[in-house]
């Protein structure tokens, strides 16, 4: 697995945003697209099909050229129960290995989000399952495949993540597909080799729900996130 070694290692580029900035998350499209949803329900009765999560962001300042784009997401069960085996998706022996990951087909733009052409390929840098507590997981994905810039106040697609359905029913299968889970974009980082811009606050809606009614989003500081996942 290719690793991205620069996460958390560069000084943050400090600036006062001229426009509303932050991160967004939605099912089935960029937030603001026709059909984009904050809640996804699945009957968990088939091993076929998939669902797509769209991570997007509005940068605080103009930034060019982008050489690194990274996205951090946090998963948390509703009610504090341990995260189910259905979300054990990365390591050798995982119950549903590779079934939650960056989509193999990224998109260059959507009706509400600008993008890049050609779209970059993303890889998983880390997936901490049931860590730092059993009810949570932490995912970081990233790419080095962008060489253009972004403009403050514009809405950009960062990446699409796919949740596939294999091993939901039958034998072998993985328990817990029906468990309610909240997924939150905790950070989007755009960087050159010397500077970076890290967005951690919601621009409009930074969380999406799996099998649960919408609830208010929570915010986090970048320092707190780094402390959790050193």
pLDDT tens digit sequence for 158-182:
999 999 999 999 999 999 999 999 9
- According to the model, what pLDDT value does residue 121 have? 93
In a domain, 221, yes or no: yes
In the chain, how many domains are there? 1
Domain membership of residue 27 (yes or no) is yes
Considering the domain boundaries, does residue 71 fall inside one? yes
Residue 5 lies in a domain: no
Q: Average pLDDT for consecutive 10-residue bins of the chain (230 residues)? A: 39 42 97 96 97 97 92 95 97 95 94 91 96 97 90 95 98 96 97 91 96 56 53
- Read off φ and ψ for residue 80, nearest 5 degrees: 90, 5
Structural domain contains residue 12? no
pTM of the model: 0.84
Asked if residue 10 belongs to a domain, the reply is: no
Q: Look at residues 47, 22, 48, 24 and name the one whose alpha carbon lies nearest to residue 37.
A: 24
Residue 11 lies in a domain: no
Instruction: Give the separation between CA 101 and CA 161, rounded to whole angstroms.
Output: 6
Q: Which of 229, 220, 222, 215 is nearest to 77 (CA)?
A: 215
pLDDT at 221: 52
Residue that the structure tokens 């580029």 belong to:
13
Look up the domain containing 79 and give its range: 22-228
Q: What is the 3-state secondary structure (H, E, C) of 77-94?
A: ECCCCCCCHHHCCCCCCC
pLDDT computed for residue 141 by the predictor: 98
- Confirm whether 15 is domain-assigned: no
Angstrom distance (rounded) from CA 152 to CA 20: 9
CATH classification of the domain holding 173 = 2.60.40
DSSP state of 14: -
Confidence (pLDDT) at 6: 37
Element containing residue 226 per DSSP (H, E) = helix 222-228
């Amino acid at each position: 697995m290719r690793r991205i070694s620069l996460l958390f290692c560069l000084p943050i580029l400090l600036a006062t945003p001229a426009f509303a900035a932050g991160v967004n998350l939605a099912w089935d499209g960029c937030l603001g697209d026709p059909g984009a949803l904050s809640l996804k329900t699945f009957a968990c009765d088939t091993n076929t099909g998939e669902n797509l999560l769209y991570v997007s962001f509005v940068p605080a300042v103009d930034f060019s050229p982008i050489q690194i784009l990274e996205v951090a997401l946090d998963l948390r069960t509703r009610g504090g129960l341990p995260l189910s085996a259905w979300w054990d998706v990365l390591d050798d022996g995982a119950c549903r290995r590779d079934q939650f990951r960056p989509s193999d087909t990224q998109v260059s733009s959507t009706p509400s989000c600008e993008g890049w052409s050609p779209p970059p390929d993303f890889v998983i840098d880390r997936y901490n399952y049931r860590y730092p507590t059993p009810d949570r997981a932490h995912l970081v994905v990233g790419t080095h495949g962008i060489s253009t810039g972004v403009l403050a106040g514009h809405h950009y697609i960062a990446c699409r993540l796919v949740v596939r359905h294999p091993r939901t029913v039958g034998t072998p299968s993985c328990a817990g597909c029906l468990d309610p889970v909240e997924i939150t974009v905790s950070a989007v980082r755009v960087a050159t080799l010397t500077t970076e811009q890290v967005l951690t606050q919601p621009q409009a809606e930074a969380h999406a729900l799996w099998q649960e009614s919408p609830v208010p989003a929570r915010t986090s500081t970048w320092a707190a996130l780094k402390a959790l996942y050193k």
